[in-house]
Amino acid sequence: MRKLLLSLFALLSFPAAAQLTDSFTDGNCTQSPAWTGDLASFQVNTQLQLQSNGPATTGTTLQLVTPCQAATGTTWEFYANLKLATSGSNYADVWLMADQPDLKIPGTKGYFVRLGGTPDEVSLFRKDASGSPVYVVNGLDGTLSSSTNNVVRVRVTRSLQNGWTLERDLTGAGTSYITEGTATDATHQRSNYTGVLLTYSSANSRNFYFDDFRVTDATPPTLVSATPATARQLDVVFNELVDASPSAVSYRLTGAGAPAVLTAQRDAADPALVHLTLGSDLPLGNNTLEVRNVADLYGNTAAGPLTLSFLNKGFPVLPGVNQVLITEIMADETPAVGLPASEYLEIYNPTAGALLDLGGLRLQKAGSSTAAVFPAGAVLAPGEYAIVCGSTRAAEFAGFGKVFGLSNFSSLSNSGDQLLLRSRTAQTLFEVSYSDTWYKDNRKKEGGWALEMVDLANPCAGIDNWTASTDASGGTPGRANSLKVTNPDRTPPALLRAVALSPTTVRLFFGEKLDSAAVANPALYGLVPAVGITRVAPVGPDFRMVDLALGSPLTVNQRTTVAAQRITDCVGNAAGPATSTTFALPDVPAPDAVVINEILFNPRTSGVDFVELLNRSAQYLDLRGWQLSSETETGTDVQNISREPYVLAPGQLVVLTTRPDVVQSQYPTNDPTTFLALSSFPSLPDDAGTVILLNTTGQKLDSYTYNKSQHLALLDDLNGVSLERTRPEGPSLASNFHSAASTVGYATPGRPNSQYQADPGGSKFFRVEPETFTPDGDGQQDFTSINYTLNQPGYVASVTVYDALGRLTRRLVRNESLAVTGFLPWDGLNDQGRKAPIGYYVFFIELLQPSSGLKYEYKRTVVLGARL
By DSSP bridging, strand 772-773 and strand 42-44 are: unpaired
Q: How many Å separate Cα 226 from the centre of its chain?
A: 36
The pTM is what? 0.54
Q: Is the sign of the CA dihedral 144, 148, 153, 159 positive or negative?
A: positive
Given this model, what pLDDT does residue 245 score?
67
User: Can you name the residues that pair with 840 across neighbouring β-strands?
Assistant: 863
DSSP string, 252-320: EEESTTPPPEEEEEE-SS-TTEEEEEESSPPPSEEEEEEEESEEBTTS-EE-SPEEEEEEE----B---
Q: Edge to edge, what strands does the sheet with 121-127 contain?
A: 36-37, 60-67, 193-200, 91-98, 110-116, 121-127, 134-137
**Percentage of the chain lying above the pLDDT 70 cut:** 96
Is the pLDDT at 515 greater than 80? The verdict is yes
pLDDT in tens, 303-353: 889 999 998 877 888 999 999 999 999 999 999 999 999 999 999 999 987
CA distances for 782 relative to 177, 707, 712, 717, angstroms: 108, 19, 9, 17
Is the pLDDT at 246 greater than 70? The verdict is no
pLDDT in tens, 785-838: 999 988 777 888 999 999 988 889 999 999 988 888 889 999 999 999 899 999
Mean pLDDT of 165-176: 96
pLDDT in tens, 461-505: 999 999 999 999 999 999 999 988 999 988 889 898 899 999 999
Assign 3-class secondary structure to 670-706.
Answer: CCHHHEEECCCCCCCCCCEEEEEEECCCCCEEEEEEE
Confidence tier at 762 by pLDDT (50, 70, 90): very low
Given this model, what pLDDT does residue 576 score?
67
Q: What are phi and psi of 8, to 5 degrees?
A: -65, -40
Identify the three-state secondary structure at position 663.
helix
Position with higher pLDDT, 670 vs 682: 682
CB 307 within 8 A of CB 288: yes
In angstroms, the CA 434 to CA 451 distance is: 9
Given this model, what pLDDT does residue 671 score?
84
* Domains, the chain, ordered by start: 2-217 (2.60.120.200), 223-312 (2.60.40.1220), 325-468 (2.60.40), 495-583 (2.60.40.1220), 594-744 (2.60.40.1260), 766-864 (2.60.40.4070)
User: Can you name the residues that pair with 364 across neighbouring β-strands?
Assistant: 420
Given this model, what pLDDT does residue 15 score?
39
Position with higher pLDDT, 387 vs 317: 387
Given this model, what pLDDT does residue 509 score?
92
Given this model, what pLDDT does residue 13 score?
37
In angstroms, the CA 446 to CA 358 distance is: 33
Mean pLDDT of 220-228: 91
Mean pLDDT of 709-714: 87
Given this model, what pLDDT does residue 178 score?
97
Is the pLDDT at 244 greater than 70? The verdict is yes
Q: How many Å separate Cα 565 from the centre of its chain?
A: 35
Confidence tier at 607 by pLDDT (50, 70, 90): very high
Residues in CB range of 816: below 8 A, 6 or more apart: 796, 797, 798
Is the pLDDT at 202 greater than 50? The verdict is yes
Peptide bond into 837 cis (omega under 30): no
Mean pLDDT of 195-207: 97
Mean pLDDT of 857-861: 86
CB 625 within 8 A of CB 586: no
CB 859 within 8 A of CB 836: no
Confidence tier at 367 by pLDDT (50, 70, 90): confident
DSSP string, 503-553: TTEEEEEESS-B-TTGGG-GGGEEEES---EEEEEEETTT--EEEEEESSP
CB 831 within 8 A of CB 813: no
Mean pLDDT of 158-179: 96
Position with higher pLDDT, 677 vs 852: 677
675 class by beta-carbon count within 10 Å (0-12 exposed, 13-18 middle, 19+ buried) = buried
Given this model, what pLDDT does residue 759 score?
55
Is the pLDDT at 868 greater than 70? The verdict is no
Region of residue 606 (phi > 0: left; psi between -120 and 50: alpha; otherwise: beta): left
pLDDT in tens, 403-461: 999 999 999 999 999 999 999 999 999 999 999 989 999 999 999 999 999 999 999 99
Given this model, what pLDDT does residue 103 score?
97
Given this model, what pLDDT does residue 749 score?
96
CB 267 within 8 A of CB 187: no
Is the pLDDT at 535 greater than 90? The verdict is yes
Residue 522 exposure: Cα atoms within 13 Å on the Cβ side:
12
Confidence tier at 3 by pLDDT (50, 70, 90): very low
Mean pLDDT of 739-760: 84
Confidence tier at 855 by pLDDT (50, 70, 90): confident
pLDDT in tens, 97-131: 999 999 999 999 999 999 999 999 999 999 999 99
Identify the three-state secondary structure at position 838.
coil
Give the residue from 770, 784, 731, 764 showing the smallest Cα distance to 847.
764
Given this model, what pLDDT does residue 764 score?
60
Confidence tier at 669 by pLDDT (50, 70, 90): confident
**Percentage of the chain lying above the pLDDT 90 cut:** 73
Residues in CB range of 55: below 8 A, 6 or more apart: 41, 205
Confidence tier at 11 by pLDDT (50, 70, 90): very low
Is the pLDDT at 763 greater than 50? The verdict is no
In angstroms, the CA 10 to CA 33 distance is: 11
Mean pLDDT of 69-89: 95
